[in-house]
Chain A
Amino acid sequence: MLKANSLTKNFNSNIALNSVSLSVSQGEIYCLLGANGAGKTTLINHFLGFLKPTSGEVLVNGKCVTSNPLDTKRDIAYIPENVMLYGVLTGLENLEYFSALATGRKKPRDVLRKLLADVGLPAEAAERRVATYSKGMRQKVGITIAMAKNAKALLLDEPTSGLDPKAANEFSRLLKTASENGVAVFTTTHDLFHAKETGNRIGIMRSGSLLAEFNSDDVSHADMESIYLKNMRD
């Protein structure tokens, strides 16, 4: 579903991605770990077509992102690290707008209210202007927007940043449900525990290179921490 083939990206002399190859298939949850500046966001931006590869290619549902920028976006939903919304609109109106643009159909407000309640946004907050929201509240609206798109793949860049533990937990459940429905999930995170809990596959990145990949079932929590630290060290 999501595929990167020897993807390399240089920003001037700075190598942000160094021949990264990975693939996420339907129903799989792929968690990418890596220190700050490792290149995780850069990789996601390639799947979204916001950046052009220096060499190599990225494919969504078998289609090259560079040559099908619109088609490939229809198959994915994206949650950035900081969800950005229209401050003068309410959370509900933001959801209504973005999800209608994504699907081409306007959903009834009641359905949208229910979706917001599902991610734990208080009903009162849904009718308030987003300018008054906390980061976590915006993140919840962002999650709802992505989920409402019913896309084939989810691209998540530290989606739980700013979420309280309960909300993060509920979000993990949402991801699992999605993957059970055949959605391919690609998420970056700094939370080893969360990665182990939700992910099927885990990748570790450093300085633009993908250093290790393994199935989460194959390792224990303790193993994971030591693998991660080993890869960060040398």
Chain B
Amino acid sequence: MTWLIVTREVREFYRDGRFLFGAGLVAVLFITAFLVGYEQRQNVFSEREVAQQLDYDDWINQPERHPHDAAHQGMHVFKPIPPLSFVDPGITNYVGSTQWLKAHRQTEVKFRPAQDATGLQRFGSLTPAWVIQVLGPLLIIVLGFNSFSGEREQGTLRQLISLGVPSWKLLRGKALALFLGAFLLIAPLLLFSVWAVSGDDLAGSRHDTLIRSGFLVLGYLVYLGIFIFVTLAVSALTATSRISLIVLLAFWIIGTTLAPRALVDVARMVYPIPNQAEFNTQLNQELQREYAEAWQEHFGTDKRWGSDVPLSRWGEALRVDDYAGYDAIDRHFGALWDRYEDQRRLQEFFGLLFPMLSIRSYSMAMSATDFTHHRDFATSAEDHRRLIQDLISSNLTQHADGHGERHFDYKVGKEFWSKVPRFEYAAPAAFFALQGSLNSLGVLLASLLISIAFAFWSSRNLI
């Protein structure tokens, strides 16, 4: 009986042309976005591989010199491109993809763009995620706005109810029919998952990619499910299909364009973050204080790199200085990054009203392109920088400090350079993404349950 209702609905979508037009258009956009994104990823992917290799070659082949000079020149590390980034590029284009590992400071390049990370304004960029998040609900609305109200106008609803068909069965059938539409939209993503396991260019992360796309599909089904039940509820409550359409379009516009922008500002107000100049000033002040304290403690002077400390102790001093900085850096960046996460979480909660706010976050996390993943990369890069620093300061302590006043005549070559390992970064596994998405997924599931309850309540009395 349910299947009967489903096939009739689908037949109607199909015969009145809505399905071919709406779903066809959305599917074409989706596939285009998919191919464009994939193409770009392939290009950038190989570019980065090459750049990373060249940079490390430069490091290994640099001439003999004082290790600290080498540290000033530093090394560049490149963020690997997550396999699913072409589905949802997330903050990819807003944060730096390279990080400069150099002496003394965690570089700033990496968090300047990250300031925009939560203020992400991706509207207008054609990505598969955008198509599902924005056009997906529109497709559902176009297919479903007259589900009940149209039949009420037509008079067929009375006819159905007079047969003794329980309204919940009608609701279930209509919801399933709309899910078919939603499924059509998500099918390319599923196809990709299948292809991901059989493809060969994603070796190593294949399994993880499959799990991630599975969760991505799940999340999007929940997301579209929310719209399906809201659409049916509104259609059941409104007297005419014209009113249902107006109400639903208003909800769509607010939920997919206005609310996401407005909530970014709200989150910024609730959890303010310093601008870059302020952040740097504060960090510098803190660093100076830490440095002074450490130098005072070790060398009895608060003047760094002055004549009070003989050159024969500069290797040791470098180490003291570095370690004094690490704490301050961790504290400051940690606090800033925690703020970003607070902002994100706040927006996710508003997903109860506007589901796009939680799916946006969830989708980025599953695609490994959200801020949490970026943070993981930045932390690894910083660890690598510290590894280089520690190698250098201990080398200087062992060898250069013995040279006394001729400290800066000390030089190292290839043998030392190759002690610094390549930067090998593996993006965290799907489980990491899931842990970070408990909040957004929870909100999505709660919204789905609420919308289902709302739909059943609205359709309890259809005449």
Query: A88-B11, A88-B15, A104-B1 known; A73 and B162 CB under 8 Å?
Result: yes
The answer to whether B166 touches A85 (Cβ under 8 A) is no
Contact residues in B for A98 (Cβ distance below 8 Å): 159-160, 163
Contact residues in A for B463 (Cβ distance below 8 Å): 50
Residue A92 lies at the interface, judged by CB distance under 8 Å to chain B = no
The answer to whether B16 touches A102 (Cβ under 8 A) is no
Query: A89-B11, A89-B12 known; A78 and B4 CB under 8 Å?
Result: no
Contact residues in A for B12 (Cβ distance below 8 Å): 86, 88-89
CB distance from B334 to the nearest CB of A (A): 61
The answer to whether A101 touches B155 (Cβ under 8 A) is no
Query: A83-B159, A88-B16 known; A106 and B4 CB under 8 Å?
Result: yes
Contact with B along A93-124 (1 / 0, CB 8 A): 10001101110101000000000000000000
The answer to whether B164 touches A74 (Cβ under 8 A) is yes
Contact residues in A for B8 (Cβ distance below 8 Å): 86, 89, 93, 97
The answer to whether A84 touches B154 (Cβ under 8 A) is yes
The answer to whether B156 touches A86 (Cβ under 8 A) is yes
CB distance from B331 to the nearest CB of A (A): 66
The answer to whether B164 touches A80 (Cβ under 8 A) is no
CB distance from A88 to the nearest CB of B (A): 4
The answer to whether A101 touches B165 (Cβ under 8 A) is yes
Contact residues in B for A74 (Cβ distance below 8 Å): 164
The answer to whether B4 touches A97 (Cβ under 8 A) is yes
Nearest residue (CB) in B for A74 is: B164
The answer to whether A84 touches B162 (Cβ under 8 A) is no
The answer to whether B15 touches A84 (Cβ under 8 A) is no
Query: A70-B166, A102-B164, A106-B4 known; A85 and B158 CB under 8 Å?
Result: no
Which of A83, A89, A100 contacts B1, CB < 8 Å?
Answer: A100
The answer to whether A70 touches B155 (Cβ under 8 A) is no
- Classify chain A's interface size: 20 to 34
Residue A176 lies at the interface, judged by CB distance under 8 Å to chain B = no
Q: Bound complex: CA of A106 vs CA of B463, how far in Å?
A: 26
Q: Bound complex: CA of A86 vs CA of B164, how far in Å?
A: 18
Contact with A along B58-100 (1 / 0, CB 8 A): 0000000000000000000000000000000000000000000
Q: Bound complex: CA of A73 vs CA of B166, how far in Å?
A: 10
Residue A31 lies at the interface, judged by CB distance under 8 Å to chain B = no
The answer to whether B158 touches A101 (Cβ under 8 A) is no
Q: Bound complex: CA of A86 vs CA of B156, how far in Å?
A: 7
The answer to whether B156 touches A84 (Cβ under 8 A) is yes
Contact residues in A for B1 (Cβ distance below 8 Å): 100-101, 104
Contact with A along B145-185 (1 / 0, CB 8 A): 00000000011101111111110000000000000000000
CB distance from B3 to the nearest CB of A (A): 10
Residue A205 lies at the interface, judged by CB distance under 8 Å to chain B = no
Contact residues in A for B5 (Cβ distance below 8 Å): 101
Contact residues in A for B11 (Cβ distance below 8 Å): 88-89, 93
Nearest residue (CB) in B for A47 is: B162
The answer to whether B4 touches A80 (Cβ under 8 A) is no
Q: Bound complex: CA of A103 vs CA of B385, how far in Å?
A: 74
The answer to whether A149 touches B163 (Cβ under 8 A) is yes
CB distance from B99 to the nearest CB of A (A): 59
Nearest residue (CB) in A for B4 is: A100
Residue A172 lies at the interface, judged by CB distance under 8 Å to chain B = no
The answer to whether B159 touches A84 (Cβ under 8 A) is yes
Q: Bound complex: CA of A102 vs CA of B15, how far in Å?
A: 24
The answer to whether A101 touches B160 (Cβ under 8 A) is yes
Query: A88-B11, A89-B8, A101-B4 known; A73 and B156 CB under 8 Å?
Result: no
CB distance from B176 to the nearest CB of A (A): 15
Among B4, B12, B164, which residue has the most Cβ atoms of chain A within 10 A? B164
Q: Bound complex: CA of A98 vs CA of B125, how far in Å?
A: 46
Nearest residue (CB) in B for A88 is: B15
Q: Bound complex: CA of A76 vs CA of B8, how far in Å?
A: 24
Q: Bound complex: CA of A76 vs CA of B161, how far in Å?
A: 12
CB distance from B146 to the nearest CB of A (A): 12
Contact residues in A for B163 (Cβ distance below 8 Å): 73, 98, 101-102, 149
The answer to whether B156 touches A85 (Cβ under 8 A) is yes
| 12 pairs from A and B in contact (CB 8 Å cutoff) | A48-B161, A48-B162, A73-B161, A85-B156, A86-B12, A88-B12, A88-B15, A88-B16, A89-B11, A101-B163, A102-B164, A104-B1
